[in-house]
């Protein structure tokens, strides 16, 4: 796309990949240490500072810093390539600092997020979402490219199932998630639905399911060309229907749990919310 024959630093690119691989091993190892990590992907304090003393969460933070080093090396590589090797404003990562403060609170008696000693848990949320908000879009953007390529490839096909079904299912899932998000723009409804399972259902349909369906679509589209093998059509159809059924059974009912008022990020909940669990 840049007209460059190669990236600026090929060995640095390989090193960034291996940092990511090592980080994955570190994160997986945390599940076998102590009781395992009992936190959501956001690591919100004060629960993550005071409510989970096991070292497993510290191991995950180490893994996230390791993948951050790999991402930083890759970002520098791409920035240098884009600036100096193209034929024709990036900010620093905020997640590293917020995780470092969390690690210090847990192990070195600092109080960045501890309200009893003058800290503020909302500081973590602000720092986290400087990273997290653009990060979710970065994850979904490659899937948009996969779906666009698949639609372009399949427009002259008359098949209903196989990779075409996965392509159109991904589009339908993303549209459904987007429609559920339109409801949240109404201030009166947002007061009721904010931080409930309705929001969880919304962003899982928009990001998680849309991304996973898109990745499956990319596998079905490109693996036969890369490895010279063909997929069993019946197997693809079976995987598609099973995955479509299971994912919707998992996440669609969360809309109703949120409408009931069930909050997210809670350790336990009353029996009145158990119907849609």
More confident residue, 212 or 99: 212
Provide the pLDDT for residue 160: 45
Provide the pLDDT for residue 167: 66
Provide the pLDDT for residue 50: 65
Place 87 in a pLDDT band, splitting at 50, 70 and 90. low
pLDDT in tens, 227-270: 888 777 788 888 888 888 888 888 888 888 888 888 887 767 78
| Backbone phi, psi, residue 93, to 5° | -75, 125
Q: For 32-37, what is the mean pLDDT?
A: 76
More confident residue, 60 or 46: 60
Provide the pLDDT for residue 92: 44
Place 162 in a pLDDT band, splitting at 50, 70 and 90. low
Provide the pLDDT for residue 19: 92
H or E segment to which residue 135 belongs: helix 121-154
Sign of CA dihedral 257, 261, 264, 265: negative
Distance CA 40, CA 264 (A): 10
Provide the residue ranges of all domains of the chain, joining segments of one domain with +.
Answer: 10-121, 159-276
Provide the pLDDT for residue 25: 92
Sign of CA dihedral 19, 21, 24, 26: negative
Provide the pLDDT for residue 21: 92
Place 166 in a pLDDT band, splitting at 50, 70 and 90. low
| Contact between 80 and 60 (Cβ < 8 Å) | no
pLDDT of residue 96 exceeding 70, the answer is no
pTM for this entry? 0.57
Provide the pLDDT for residue 18: 93
Q: Which residues lie below 8 Å from residue 87, measured CB to CB, with a gap of 6+?
A: 2, 3, 4
Distance CA 157, CA 15 (A): 41
| Contact between 52 and 2 (Cβ < 8 Å) | no
C-alpha dihedral (151, 157, 158, 161), degrees to nearest 10: -60
Distance CA 238, CA 196 (A): 33
pLDDT in tens, 171-212: 777 777 778 778 887 888 878 888 888 888 888 887 778 778
pLDDT of residue 107 exceeding 90, the answer is no
Distance CA 73, CA 70 (A): 5
pLDDT in tens, 109-160: 787 777 777 777 777 777 777 777 777 777 777 777 887 777 777 766 545 4
């Amino acid at each position: 796309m840049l007209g460059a024959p190669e990236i600026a630093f090929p060995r640095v690119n390989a090193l960034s990949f291996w940092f990511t691989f090592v980080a994955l091993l570190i994160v997986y190892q945390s599940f076998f240490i102590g009781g395992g990590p009992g936190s959501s992907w956001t690591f919100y304090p004060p629960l993550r500072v005071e409510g989970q003393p096991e070292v497993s969460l510290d191991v995950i933070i180490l893994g996230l810093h390791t993948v951050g080093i790999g991402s930083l090396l890759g970002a520098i590589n791409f920035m240098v390539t884009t600036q100096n090797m193209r034929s024709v404003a990036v900010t620093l990562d905020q997640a590293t600092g917020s995780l470092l403060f969390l690690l210090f609170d847990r192990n070195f008696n600092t109080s960045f997020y501890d309200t009893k000693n003058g800290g503020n848990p909302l500081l973590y949320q602000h720092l986290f979402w400087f990273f997290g908000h653009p990060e979710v879009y970065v994850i979904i953007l490659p899937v948009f490219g996969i779906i666009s390529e698949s639609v372009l490839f399949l427009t002259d096909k008359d098949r209903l199932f196989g990779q075409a079904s996965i392509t159109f299912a991904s589009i339908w899932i993303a549209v459904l998630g987007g429609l559920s998000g339109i409801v949240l723009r109404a201030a009166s409804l947002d007061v009721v639905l904010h931080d409930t399972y309705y929001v969880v259902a919304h962003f899982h349909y928009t990001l998680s399911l849309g991304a996973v369906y898109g990745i499956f679509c990319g596998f079905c589209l490109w693996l036969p060309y890369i490895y010279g093998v063909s997929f069993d059509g019946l197997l693809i159809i079976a995987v598609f229907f099973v995955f479509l059924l299971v994912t919707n059974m998992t996440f669609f009912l969360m809309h109703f749990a949120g409408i009931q008022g069930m909050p997210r990020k809670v350790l336990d909940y009353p029996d009145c919310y158990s119907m849609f669990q």
